[in-house]
Amino acid sequence: MTDAAQTFDDLAIADPTSTFGGIWRSGVLAALSWAAAALITVGLPDVVPWGSAKLFAGLTAGAAAVFLVLSFVVQRLGRAGEVLRHYGPWFVAVGVWLALWELATAKFGWLPKPFFSPPHGILNVYVTDGPRLLLCIVYTLRLWSLGFLSGIVVGYGAGVALGWSKPFAYWGMPLLKLIGPVPATAWIPVTFYFFPTTFGASIFIVALASGIPVAILTASGVGSVSRAYYDVGRILGARSWYLIRRVAIPAAMPHVFVGLFMALYYSFAVLVVAEMLGAKYGLGWYIQFQTAYSGYANVYAAIIIMAVLCAGIVRLLFVVRDRLLRWQEGFI
């Protein structure tokens, strides 16, 4: 027991996420790298002015100060401290990255305007164009959530029907297999005819992109449920409806979640295109609009927002999955 504890301590010291002499090493290094980024930003002049340099330097210097304080107190923060320590090397790396990024773009001009932007250039976009970006986020989330939710609801229903009912599978599966590989965006001409508004057409494109993977995976999930489970259900007096609800659907859940993750990525991918259909606001619209005017800093700013939104939603789906598929633990 003591031996094991000893080994564990040795490992902890060798680990860069650990503390040394009561001081969190990565925290100190992160403070240094972020301070360097701050100094570079204010100390050297921009080749071409970008704006918000002082604000950026202030923020990075603030972060450096926080890391410095954390270096001494992180051990007392319990669970949160552990998480911080785990990401210590990342904090250092991000500071270094910001410093190099500043040098390569704004300070030495190796990566020139307008194709590249220093971090404070992107910050400047948030400062000067913030309200419009917020509106774009709201529009994009509205389009995405309406499209994604309607897509997965219809896709899920269709998938259960296809997996359960032989007639449905006979007529539906060939159609689904035919339509499935066609990119959702290829249907744009048709959607213009069927949908009175461009917003409706955009929702349909996102819904189609999300619905098809959910339908295919749900159908295969329901279809591959072991017959033994149905036998047990029938022996215990279950009729079809009960077997669908209590056997087929929960048994297919792991497949359904694979479909949902695919649906998430597809829906994000078509979002930009869907917002081409005469949208007035939206991150995809913003990216196209700014690209046309060579506002690449604005494009990067929007891309970062999109990436963070996508990652957040993916994370959320993981949380839901881990709750619903708790029963799978041990044999995933």
Partner 1 sequence: MAEAAPLPLAADTDSLAGGGTAVDVRAVSHQFRLSGARLPVLDGIEFSAEPGEFVALLGPSGCGKSTLLRLIAGLERPTAGEIAVGGRPVDRPDPSRILVFQDPTLFPWASVRQNVTTGLEARGVLKQERGRVGEALALVGLAGFADAYPHQLSGGMAQRVALARALVNDPALLLLDEPLGKLDSLTRLTLQTELVGLWQRNGFTALLVTHDVEEALLLASRIVVFSDRPARINAEFRFDKPYPRHRDAPDLVAMRRRILGALGFAT
- Counting beta carbons within 10 angstroms of the beta carbon of residue 234, is it exposed (0 to 12), middle (13 to 18) or buried (19 or more)? middle
Q: Please tell me whether residue 244 binds partner 1 under the rule CB under 8 A.
A: no
Q: In this structure, what token pair is assigned to residue 55?
A: 């604000």
Least distance to partner 1 from the beta carbon of 257, Å? 13
Among 130, 246, 294, 312, binds partner 1 (CB under 8 A): 246
Asked if 139 and 227 touch (Cβ cutoff 8 Å), the reply is no
Q: How far apart are CA 21 and CA 1, in angstroms?
A: 25
Q: How far apart are CA 11 and CA 86, in angstroms?
A: 14
Q: How far apart are CA 30 and CA 140, in angstroms?
A: 35
Q: Rank residues 166 and 326 by Cβ distance to partner 1 and give the closer one.
A: 326
Q: Please tell me whether residue 320 binds partner 1 under the rule CB under 8 A.
A: no
Nearest CA to 243 among 233, 256, 231? 233
Asked if 12 and 18 touch (Cβ cutoff 8 Å), the reply is yes
- Cα distances from 309 to residues 90, 144, 187, 248, 282, in angstroms, run 20, 11, 26, 33, 13
Residue given tokens 């090397």 in the structure block: 89
Q: Please tell me whether residue 81 binds partner 1 under the rule CB under 8 A.
A: no
Binding piece for partner 1, criterion CB under 8 A, among 210-218, 280-288, 300-308, 320-328: 320-328
Q: Please tell me whether residue 240 binds partner 1 under the rule CB under 8 A.
A: no
Among 76, 79, 323, 326, binds partner 1 (CB under 8 A): 326
**Hey, how many other C-beta atoms are within 10 angstroms of the C-beta on 92?**
22
Least distance to partner 1 from the beta carbon of 323, Å? 13
Using CB under 8 A, count the residues that bind partner 1: 23
Q: Please tell me whether residue 3 binds partner 1 under the rule CB under 8 A.
A: no
Q: Rank residues 70 and 252 by Cβ distance to partner 1 and give the closer one.
A: 252
Least distance to partner 1 from the beta carbon of 244, Å? 12
Binding piece for partner 1, criterion CB under 8 A, among 14-22, 99-107, 172-180, 242-250: 242-250
Least distance to partner 1 from the beta carbon of 52, Å? 52
Query: Does a cis peptide bond (omega within 30 degrees of 0) precede residue 114?
Result: yes
Least distance to partner 1 from the beta carbon of 156, Å? 17
Per CB under 8 A, contacts with partner 1 among 250-289 are 250-251, 253
Asked if 120 and 177 touch (Cβ cutoff 8 Å), the reply is no
Q: Please tell me whether residue 242 binds partner 1 under the rule CB under 8 A.
A: yes
Q: How far apart are CA 178 and CA 285, in angstroms?
A: 30
Window 201-230: contact mask with partner 1 (x via CB under 8 A): ---------------------------xx-
Residue given tokens 């997996």 in the structure block: 163
Three-state DSSP at 194 gives helix
Q: Please tell me whether residue 231 binds partner 1 under the rule CB under 8 A.
A: yes
Among 207, 247, 273, 297, binds partner 1 (CB under 8 A): 247
Least distance to partner 1 from the beta carbon of 322, Å? 14
Q: Please tell me whether residue 328 binds partner 1 under the rule CB under 8 A.
A: yes
Question: From its phi and psi, is residue 78 left (phi > 0), alpha (psi between -120 and 50) or beta?
Answer: left
Q: How far apart are CA 206 and CA 159, in angstroms?
A: 18
Nearest CA to 282 among 164, 139, 141, 170? 139
Least distance to partner 1 from the beta carbon of 256, Å? 12
Binding piece for partner 1, criterion CB under 8 A, among 42-50, 53-61, 240-248, 289-297: 240-248
Among 23, 83, 232, 308, binds partner 1 (CB under 8 A): 232
Q: Please tell me whether residue 233 binds partner 1 under the rule CB under 8 A.
A: yes
Residues at the interface with partner 1 (CB under 8 A): 228-229, 231-239, 242, 246-247, 250-251, 253, 326-331
